[in-house]
Structure 1
Amino acid sequence: MNHNQIVERALIHIEDHLQQPLTVESVANAFNMSKYYFHRLFSAMMGCSLNQYILSRRLNASLALIQIQNSSLTDIAYHLGFGTQASFTRAFKRQYGVAPSSLKTGMATISPVPVPTVVNRPVKNINGDIVTDFTLTDFKETRISGIAFEVDLAHDDYKEKIRAHSEMLLSQIDETISGPCYVIYSNCQPDSPRFKVLFGIPSNIEIDKPYYFTVDVPRIFCARFNYRGDLLDIGDVLKSDYARFLKISRQETAETEIELIQAFDDVHHLDSNYHIYAPIKKLPTDSDV
């Protein structure tokens, strides 16, 4: 099994054993792996520790149990291994922002979510830790023509917005055009989940419609990450892969208007291989001094 399959099977194993004691060691043993390597692999692939993930899935499982009228919160807490109702309630409020009793009374409604998918990301070992595989490289100066819009990564509909705008651009260009395309993210304001986005192709095309532009993206020094599968889990990349890379590799973000660039191999297939370019500061070399 490759690392992707190991983590996918671990998620199923966890879901099937939420009512039983679960530890890093017990889950790692189920796959005949070192608990230290497994935990580093799981954290790199899922963007959180194994214990954090198990807690979130137990709270997710509690949502359906709360709807059963003859199940007390104390019973649910013990059933899912929380020990006490108080510890269950505290954890529930931290994750969902409301007390579990509000679901009992019908004052709030929260739907369970399915087991998450595992983004297919190559990994590498750095300084004894595991991070998403990356290379340090230049994003070369490129002229890109496309359509501009805004997205809010705090809302799930950003994926649909990007897909819809990609279709709008494709409807304006010759069907014979093929090759790569880019999604360029520029932050609207500091520490905001709102981004200005340009979806475009590396061609100098003229489209006389609002919000269609041709821009020259400058040469930028970046960390490049490689992915396969669903295109638009960019929010997860920001929260996990990029943040973890900066911490472990001791790199710093560059002060540029562009926050991230997604590069797809094929403009007609946004579920194909893609890369993330994240601007970072280029450390000076002896020749620069």
Structure 2
Amino acid sequence: MDHYEVIERALVHIEDNLDQPLSVESVADSFNMSKYYFHRLFTAVTGSSLNNYILSRRLNASVALIQSGGCSLTDIAYQLNFGAQSSFTRAFKRQFGIAPSALKAQDADISPVPIPPVVKRPLKNINGDVVTDFTLTEFVSIRVTGIAFEVDLAEDYKTQIRSHSAQLLQAIDTTVKGPCYVIYSNCQPDSTRFKVLFGIPADLRLDGPFYFTIDVPQLFCARFQYSGDLLVIGDVLKTDYARFLKISRQETEDSHIELIQAFDDVHNLQSAYHIYAPVKKLPIDSVS
């Protein structure tokens, strides 16, 4: 069993035993693994500690129980191992922003979410710690021609990117092949809105108000490889990036470019891709 299969099975095991007193040790024992290694692996793969994940899934399960109307809030709190209704209420408010009583009174609507997919990406072991594999590399300066727009990562940004990519492909020669880039820039603090350029590395002349040719400067970056929707991997990417900064002792670069998403094939945005995140270039002997 590889590490992804271990975590996928662990998520199912947790979901099937939310009414049991789960712990790092009990879940690790179910897979004959050291609790210390299992916890490092679980955190690296999911981007969450095991205890926080279990709490979030218990709260998620409570939503369906409340909406069914068959149990009191006290019964639900004990059924899902919160110990007391007050503890359950506090945790519910933190996660959903409302009290469980408001949901029970049908003053709010919350939809339970399925078990989250496991985000697959290369991992490596650094001094006994399991982390997402990364490479410090130069993103070489390129000229990109494409279509510019704005997206909100809290909304269906993927549909916007696909529709704009289709619009760009209709405007260029059908024989154009090769890589493409989604460049996210100028995100404001505490905002999920980005300016985006979807483009290809070519100097083309395209008519239209939203077509631009820009020169992306050379950037020193941390490069990560992922498969899947950026919206789905968002929390995992943030955790990966924070752990990377801690382990490598790097610092983020003050750049208007936040992220670059690089695909090998402009006609296949379902493929694996690289994420480039600008970082400051530090002396080589300062990197672990």
Q: TM-score range by the shorter chain?
A: over 0.9
Question: SS in structure 2 opposite 1:225?
Answer: strand
- Deviation track 1:23-76 (CA, whole Å, cap 9, x = no partner) reads 111111112211111111111111110110010000000001002223100000
Give the corresponding residue for 2:179. 180
Shift of 1:162: 1.6
Relative to the length of structure 1, the TM-score reads 0.94
How many residue pairs match? The answer is 285
Q: Which amino acid aligns with 1:66?
A: I
Distance in 2 between residues matched to 1:232 and 1:189, nearest whole Å: 18
Question: SS in structure 2 opposite 1:171?
Answer: helix
Distance in 1 between residues matched to 2:246 and 2:230, nearest whole Å: 25
Shift of 1:188: 3.5
Give the corresponding residue for 1:35. 35
Identify if the C-alpha distance between structure 1 residues 16 and 31 changes in structure 2 by more than 3 Å, giving closer, same or farther: same
Structure 1 contact 187–257 (Cα < 8 Å) conserved: yes
Structure 1 contact 119–230 (Cα < 8 Å) conserved: no
Give the corresponding residue for 2:150. 150
Give the corresponding residue for 1:200. 199
Shift of 1:247: 2.2
Relative to the length of structure 2, the TM-score reads 0.94
Moved more, 94-103 or 142-151: 142-151
Q: Percent of aligned pairs with the same residue?
A: 72
Q: Which amino acid aligns with 2:242?
A: A
Shift of 1:160: 1.9
RMSD over aligned Cα atoms: 1.6
Give the corresponding residue for 1:60. 60
Question: SS in structure 2 opposite 1:270?
Answer: coil
Shift of 1:167: 1.6
Shift of 1:238: 4.5
1:268 is the counterpart of 2:267: yes
Distance in 2 between residues matched to 1:187 and 1:43, nearest whole Å: 30
Identify if the C-alpha distance between structure 1 residues 93 and 191 changes in structure 2 by more than 3 Å, giving closer, same or farther: closer
Identify if the C-alpha distance between structure 1 residues 26 and 75 changes in structure 2 by more than 3 Å, giving closer, same or farther: same
Shift of 1:173: 1.7
Structure 1 contact 230–270 (Cα < 8 Å) conserved: no
Shift of 1:194: 1.6
Distance in 2 between residues matched to 1:191 and 1:77, nearest whole Å: 33
Distance in 1 between residues matched to 2:231 and 2:72, nearest whole Å: 40
1:69 is the counterpart of 2:69: yes
Q: Which amino acid aligns with 2:76?
A: I
Q: Which amino acid aligns with 2:92?
A: F
Structure 1 contact 127–248 (Cα < 8 Å) conserved: no
Moved more, 276-285 or 214-223: 276-285
Distance in 2 between residues matched to 1:7 and 1:156, nearest whole Å: 28
Structure 2 contact 158–229 (Cα < 8 Å) conserved: no
Q: Which amino acid aligns with 1:174?
A: D
Q: Which amino acid aligns with 2:205?
A: E
Give the corresponding residue for 1:163. 162
Shift of 1:248: 2.5
Give the corresponding residue for 1:51. 51
Identify if the C-alpha distance between structure 1 residues 285 and 101 changes in structure 2 by more than 3 Å, giving closer, same or farther: closer
Distance in 1 between residues matched to 2:110 and 2:150, nearest whole Å: 28
Q: How does 1:190-229 map to 2 (within 5 A)?
A: 190-229=189-228
Give the corresponding residue for 1:254. 253
Distance in 1 between residues matched to 2:179 and 2:235, nearest whole Å: 23
Identify if the C-alpha distance between structure 1 residues 233 and 182 changes in structure 2 by more than 3 Å, giving closer, same or farther: farther
Distance in 1 between residues matched to 2:270 and 2:162, nearest whole Å: 11
Moved more, 191-200 or 55-64: 191-200
Structure 1 contact 231–270 (Cα < 8 Å) conserved: no
Question: SS in structure 1 opposite 2:171?
Answer: coil
Give the corresponding residue for 1:129. 129
Structure 1 contact 231–271 (Cα < 8 Å) conserved: no
Shift of 1:237: 4.8
Shift of 1:233: 3.6
Moved more, 269-278 or 236-245: 236-245
Structure 2 contact 46–236 (Cα < 8 Å) conserved: no
Distance in 1 between residues matched to 2:234 and 2:268, nearest whole Å: 20
